[in-house]
Amino acid sequence: QEDNFKNVISHAKEYGFIFPSSEIYDGLSAVYDYAQNGAELKKNIREYWWKSMVQMHENIVGIDAAIFMHPTTWKASGHVDAFNDPLIDNKDSKKRYRADVLIEDYAEKLNQKAQKEIDKAKERFGEAFDEGQFVTTNARVMEYKAKQREILERMARSLGNEDLADVKALIEELEIACPESGSRNWTEVRQFNLMFGTKLGASADSAMDLYLRPETAQGIFVNFLNVQKSGRMKIPFGIAQTGKAFRNEIVARQFIFRMREFEQMEMQFFVKPGEEMKWYDYWKETRLKWHLSLGLGKENYRFHDHEKLAHYANAAADIEFNFPFGFKELEGIHSRTDFDLKAHEQYSGKKLQYFDTEENRNYVPYVVETSVGLDRMFLAVFSNSLVEEALEDGLTRTVLRLPSVLAPTKAAILPLVKKDGLPEISRKIVDELKWDFNVAYDEKDAVGRRYRRQDALGTPFCITVDHQTIDDETVTIRHRDTMQQDRVKISELRAIIANDVSM
Enumerate the known binding-site residues for substrate: 98, 215, 262-266, 369-373
Judged by CB under 6 A, the stretch of 16-24, 132-140, 162-170, 370-378 that binds ligand ATP is 370-378
Nearer to ligand ATP, 114 or 220 (CB): 220
Judged by CB under 6 A, the stretch of 46-54, 324-332, 418-426, 452-460 that binds ligand ATP is 324-332
For position 372 contacting ligand ATP by CB under 6 A, the verdict is yes
For position 105 contacting ligand ATP by CB under 6 A, the verdict is no
Do the beta carbons of residue 352 and residue 344 sit within 8 Å?
yes
Within residues 192-231, the interface with ligand ATP by CB under 6 A covers 215
Among 220, 239, 259, 364, binds ligand ATP (CB under 6 A): 259
State the minimum distance, in angstroms, from the CB of residue 201 to ligand ATP.
28
CA 462 remoteness from chain centre? 29
Nearer to ligand ATP, 87 or 372 (CB): 372
Nearer to ligand ATP, 19 or 196 (CB): 196
Q: What CA–CA distances, in Å, run from 291 to 288, 299, 310?
A: 5, 12, 24
Do the beta carbons of residue 201 and residue 208 sit within 8 Å?
yes
Nearer to ligand ATP, 251 or 277 (CB): 251
Nearer to ligand ATP, 210 or 259 (CB): 259
For position 262 contacting ligand ATP by CB under 6 A, the verdict is yes
For position 375 contacting ligand ATP by CB under 6 A, the verdict is yes
C-alpha–C-alpha distance, residues 366 and 274, integer Å: 8
State the minimum distance, in angstroms, from the CB of residue 153 to ligand ATP.
17
For position 249 contacting ligand ATP by CB under 6 A, the verdict is yes
Annotated binding-site residues read 98, 215, 247-249, 257-266, 329-330, 369-376
Q: Residue 363: in which H helix or E strand, if any? A: strand 361-363
Q: Does a cis peptide bond (omega within 30 degrees of 0) precede residue 179?
A: no
Total chain residues near ligand ATP (CB under 6 A): 16
Annotated binding-site residues for ATP read 247-249, 257-262, 329-330, 373-376
Nearest CA to 145 out of 157, 131, 160, 135 is that of 135
Encoded amino acid at 359, one letter: E
**CB atoms closer than 10 angstroms to residue 360:** 7
Reduced 3-state DSSP string for 51-73: HHHHHCCCCEEECCCCCECCCHH
For position 240 contacting ligand ATP by CB under 6 A, the verdict is no
For position 373 contacting ligand ATP by CB under 6 A, the verdict is yes
Nearer to ligand ATP, 216 or 469 (CB): 216
% helix / strand / coil in the chain, to the nearest 5? 45, 25, 30
For position 40 contacting ligand ATP by CB under 6 A, the verdict is no
State the minimum distance, in angstroms, from the CB of residue 373 to ligand ATP.
2
Among 79, 147, 213, 258, binds ligand ATP (CB under 6 A): 258
C-alpha–C-alpha distance, residues 262 and 270, integer Å: 25
**CB atoms closer than 10 angstroms to residue 261:** 18
**CB atoms closer than 10 angstroms to residue 29:** 11
C-alpha–C-alpha distance, residues 193 and 174, integer Å: 26
For position 264 contacting ligand ATP by CB under 6 A, the verdict is yes
For position 376 contacting ligand ATP by CB under 6 A, the verdict is yes
Nearest CA to 34 out of 240, 342, 262, 193 is that of 262
For position 86 contacting ligand ATP by CB under 6 A, the verdict is no
Q: What CA–CA distances, in Å, run from 227 to 164, 238, 270, 273, 346?
A: 42, 10, 12, 19, 20
Within residues 328-347, the interface with ligand ATP by CB under 6 A covers 329-332
**Residues engaged in binding ligand ATP (CB under 6 A):** 215, 247, 249, 258-259, 262, 264, 329-332, 371-373, 375-376
